[in-house]
Structures are given as structure tokens and as C-alpha cells.
């Protein structure tokens, strides 16, 4: 959410930003917000004048009563009652307009960075940098579901009977590998100085509205029937919301945390949800990283964070690339974002395995996350989030890039302690 003062003073910049995001239908919101803001400020001013008048009259009533001028005092009392009734009406209107203003402001997208490429959708994202040499072996790489099946490691048929499409059972060595990469990612981030956390997996609606746009909420989140609770789509949601309505100390920043959680997503309109693999699913697990920092430090942290993901994937011999997200592919709260994509030797192309985002103060404004500076001033913090790894999708890249000609899968040295010392997985068939 933008600062109302910024919108008031820079309406043309806000409109131009909306156009860059190809959301022209939101252009009228700018003038609507400015009009509401003006009306609210007028009501505040009118209320302040009336309160001052009421206080003056109240003081005069006391004086008149002491002077035995009861008739004049009674008239002033009637005037005070009239003022109070008017104040009730003004305060009610002010509250209603303030709620309407907030809803409209939350629909206006965050300002994007100057270096964000302009494009209407993800087809205009920019391939910026590659890490590691992509290899296509001289033997066939099977579909990832078939690789898992060779280890008796995937059962989607039973999951479909139990839960429906978009769910899965992981079994045996594949399930163990899934847990191993999460544990490795956890320790990798702890070694980078991040504090490990397991957050709540359900959050209230005010927290949801604080961390994401209304469109994302409708498309992604599962609502718990009869409760003001939603299943999280990523641990970023509850991790950032942890600091809701908090005033942090400047010396506490940056706050750097890495979190584990299951993630639940409706995937409304998702293509291929019926597919037999595990690329797009309703439930998965993820190791996440979040940072809350001072505004002047957020760009540096953004670059650190996506580089950590690159480093982790390269430590497991998986080639990756950084893809810069264009304006039309950015969610409304994002200032800038990039995807980390892993190499698929079967498809001979890269696919998304993580995303890093700088949201500047957009989330912090919604959630009232501020920090107190040494001079006593309070300022909104900046928030950032990034995927460390998100299996089982990450397992697709791992299995394809470590699959051998005989069907076995090599376990990199870094991962072997988490796999009971195993150096490779041997297929059952």
C-alpha cells in the first residue's frame, strides 16, 4: 500500500506506474482516493473545530454556574449536546470513508523499481544470468513421475482417491530425499546467519490482507469454513505477519529468518493440475527466507537473497538461471522480483523453482510494521522474501540432473549426511 501523502502529491506518477503494470482499469482509483482523502481531512478539521468549541462551552458552563447564571448555562449545555450529536455523525462518516479509502488504496499497486523491464506478462521476463553449464546427457531422461516410480516413490492414484487431483504420496527413498533437501536448506540458511523458525500454518483474514493483494487471496488461499482462518500459501505470510502492529528498534534490524512450512494453494485456473506429475499441486513444503530491514538496505538484501538460492542449487550440481520479472508479471505489492529457474535436461529448458521479491514498505504499511530510529522518528520497514527450496518441485530438477544412465541417482556430498550416508539411490525396477 502506498503512502496517501505520496498519492496526493504525485498522482501522475502513480497513474503512470499503473499503466506500466497494464492495469488501466485501476486508473480511476487514483482520483477516487484523492477525493476521499480530501473529504476525510475536511471532516477531521470540522471535528477539531467542534471539539474546541465544545471545550470552550464546557469551561463557560462551569463559570456561569458559579456565577448563578443557570439559564445561560442551560443554553450552553443544549449547545454542547448539539455539538456532541454532530460529532457522532461526523466521526461515523469519517470512519466509513476511511474504510472505503483503505480498500481503494489497497487496490493500487506498489511503485515498481526503475530497472524493472516493462512487459504485459511473463513472456516478457528477461533472462539475465546463467549459473552452471546445462548438460543434456546422451541417454534419455524420463518424465520425473516415472523416475520416482522407478524407486516406488510416488503414488498419485491413492492420493486422488483420498484427496482428489493435485495431491500425492511420496514414499521410501523419494520421501527421504524430500526431507533431506529441506533439512539441508534449513542448515544452509542457518549458516548464512538466518534464524530458523516454524510458523503457524493458518492465519487470520487481517493478516492475509496485510501480506497479499485481494486478487491473490481469492486465487490462492484456502478458507477454513466457519473460522476466520486461512491456510497459508507460503510461510512468508505468517512470518511477515508475525511483526504486525509492532514498533521495532533500529538496532534490531535487519531481522533475517528462514522458515519451514507446508504450503496450500488453490491454483485457480492452473494449467495441468490434472497431470500425473508433481509440478503444479495443491500442497507442497518449502524452506523460505524473509528479511525485515531499513529502507536503505533492502536493495542489498534483495541481491544477497536470490544469490543464496543460486548458491544452494549449485552446491547440488543443478544449473540455474536468474529471470528478471517484468512489470506485468509483478504482484501488486512487489517493487521488483526475480525467478530462479533450474535446468531440466529432459525438457532442454529451465523451469521455475523459486522467486525473490522486494516489497519495499508495501506490506509494512498494511501491517503497521515500523521501527524507531535513534532520533525517535518512526518509519515503515522494508520487507523481502525468497524461496530457498520448494520440494517436491525442486526434486524434479534434482532427480533429472543427478540421474545416471543405469537409472540410479547420485547424492551430492553435501546431501549425503541427510540421507544416512547414501551416495546413490538404486531403482527398484
CATH of the domain at 20: 1.10.287.40
Q: Are residues 275 and 363 in the same domain?
A: yes
Q: Are residues 339 and 418 in the same domain?
A: yes
- Give the structural domain span for 254: 122-425
Segment among 20-29, 60-69, 302-311, 384-393 with least mean pLDDT: 60-69
Asked if the structure places residue 342 within a domain, the reply is yes
Asked if the structure places residue 30 within a domain, the reply is yes
Residue 294 has what pLDDT?
Answer: 98
Q: Are residues 135 and 252 in the same domain?
A: yes
Residues 6 or more apart in contact with residue 42 via CB below 8 angstroms: none
Q: Predicted confidence band at 274 (pLDDT cuts at 50, 70, 90)?
A: very low
Residue 75 has what pLDDT?
Answer: 82
> Quick one: average pLDDT of 379-393?
95
Q: Predicted confidence band at 429 (pLDDT cuts at 50, 70, 90)?
A: low
Q: Are residues 177 and 278 in the same domain?
A: yes
Asked if the structure places residue 110 within a domain, the reply is no
Residue 273 has what pLDDT?
Answer: 43
Q: Are residues 43 and 130 in the same domain?
A: no
Give pLDDT tens digits for 333-368: 999 999 999 999 999 999 999 999 999 999 999 999
Asked if the structure places residue 111 within a domain, the reply is no
Asked if the structure places residue 112 within a domain, the reply is no
Residue at a domain's end among 105, 130, 154: 105
> Quick one: average pLDDT of 34-63?
89
Residue at a domain's end among 79, 105, 131: 105
Q: Are residues 101 and 126 in the same domain?
A: no
Q: Are residues 349 and 387 in the same domain?
A: yes
pTM of the model: 0.90
Q: Are residues 222 and 89 in the same domain?
A: no
Q: Are residues 175 and 216 in the same domain?
A: yes
Q: Predicted confidence band at 419 (pLDDT cuts at 50, 70, 90)?
A: very high
Residue at a domain's end among 78, 105, 132: 105
Residue 276 has what pLDDT?
Answer: 65
Residue 80 has what pLDDT?
Answer: 84
Q: Alpha-carbon distance 103 to 131, whole Å?
A: 42
Q: Are residues 201 and 265 in the same domain?
A: yes
Asked if the structure places residue 87 within a domain, the reply is yes
Amino acid at each position: 500500500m502506498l503512502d496517501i501523502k505520496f498519492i496526493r502529491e504525485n498522482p501522475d506518477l502513480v497513474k503512470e506506474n499503473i499503466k506500466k503494470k497494464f492495469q488501466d482499469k485501476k486508473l480511476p482509483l487514483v482520483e477516487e482516493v484523492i477525493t476521499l482523502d480530501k473529504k476525510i481531512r475536511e471532516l477531521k478539521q470540522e471535528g477539531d473545530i467542534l471539539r474546541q468549541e465544545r471545550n470552550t462551552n464546557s469551561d463557560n458552563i462551569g463559570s456561569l454556574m458559579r456565577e448563578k447564571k443557570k439559564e445561560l448555562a442551560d443554553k450552553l449545555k443544549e449547545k454542547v449536546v448539539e455539538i456532541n450529536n454532530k460529532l457522532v455523525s461526523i466521526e461515523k462518516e469519517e470512519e466509513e470513508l476511511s474504510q472505503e479509502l483503505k480498500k481503494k488504496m489497497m487496490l493500487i499497486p506498489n511503485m515498481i523499481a526503475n530497472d524493472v523491464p516493462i512487459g504485459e506478462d511473463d513472456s516478457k521476463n528477461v533472462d539475465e544470468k546463467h549459473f552452471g553449464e546445462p548438460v543434456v546427457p546422451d541417454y534419455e531422461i524420463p518424465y520425473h513421475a516415472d523416475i520416482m516410480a522407478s524407486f516406488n516413490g510416488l503414488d498419485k492414484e491413492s492420493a486422488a482417491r483420498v484427496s482428489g487431483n493435485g495431491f500425492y504420496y511420496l514414499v521410501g527413498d523419494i520421501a527421504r530425499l524430500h526431507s533431506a533437501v529441506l533439512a539441508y536448506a534449513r542448515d544452509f540458511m542457518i549458516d548464512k546467519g538466518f534464524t530458523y523458525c516454524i510458523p503457524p500454518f493458518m492465519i487470520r483474514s487481517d493478516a492475509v490482507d496485510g501480506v497479499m493483494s485481494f486478487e491473490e487471496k481469492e486465487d490462492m488461499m484456502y478458507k477454513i469454513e466457519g473460522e476466520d482462518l486461512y491456510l497459508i500459501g507460503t510461510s512468508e505470510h505468517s512470518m511477515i505477519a508475525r511483526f504486525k502492529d509492532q514498533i521495532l528498534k533500529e538496532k534490531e534490524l535487519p531481522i533475517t529468518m528462514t522458515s519451514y512450512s507446508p504450503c496450500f494453494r488453490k491454483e485457480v485456473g492452473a494449467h495441468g493440475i490434472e497431470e500425473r506429475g508433481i509440478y503444479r499441486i495443491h500442497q507442497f513444503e518449502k524452506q523460505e527466507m524473509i528479511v525485515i530491514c531499513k529502507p536503505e538496505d533492502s536493495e542489498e538484501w534483495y541481491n544477497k537473497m536470490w544469490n543464496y538460492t543460486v548458491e544452494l542449487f549449485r552446491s547440488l550440481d543443478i544449473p540455474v538461471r536468474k529471470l528478471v520479472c517484468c512489470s506485468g508479471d509483478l504482484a501488486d505489492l512487489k517493487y521488483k522480483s526475480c525467478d530462479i529457474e533450474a535446468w531440466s535436461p529432459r525438457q532442454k529448458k529451465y523451469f521455475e523453482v523459486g522467486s525473490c521479491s522486494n516489497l519495499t514498505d508495501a506490506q509494512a504499511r498494511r501491517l503497521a510494521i515500523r521501527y524507531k530510529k535513534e532520533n525517535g522518528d518512526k518509519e515503515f520497514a522494508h520487507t523481502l522474501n525468497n524461496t530457498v527450496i520448494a520440494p517436491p518441485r525442486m526434486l524434479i530438477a534434482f532427480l533429472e540432473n543427478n540421474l545416471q544412465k543405469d537409472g540410479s541417482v547420485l547424492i551430492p556430498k553435501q546431501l549425503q549426511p541427510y540421507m544416512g550416508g547414501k551416495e546413490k539411490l538404486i531403482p527398484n525396477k
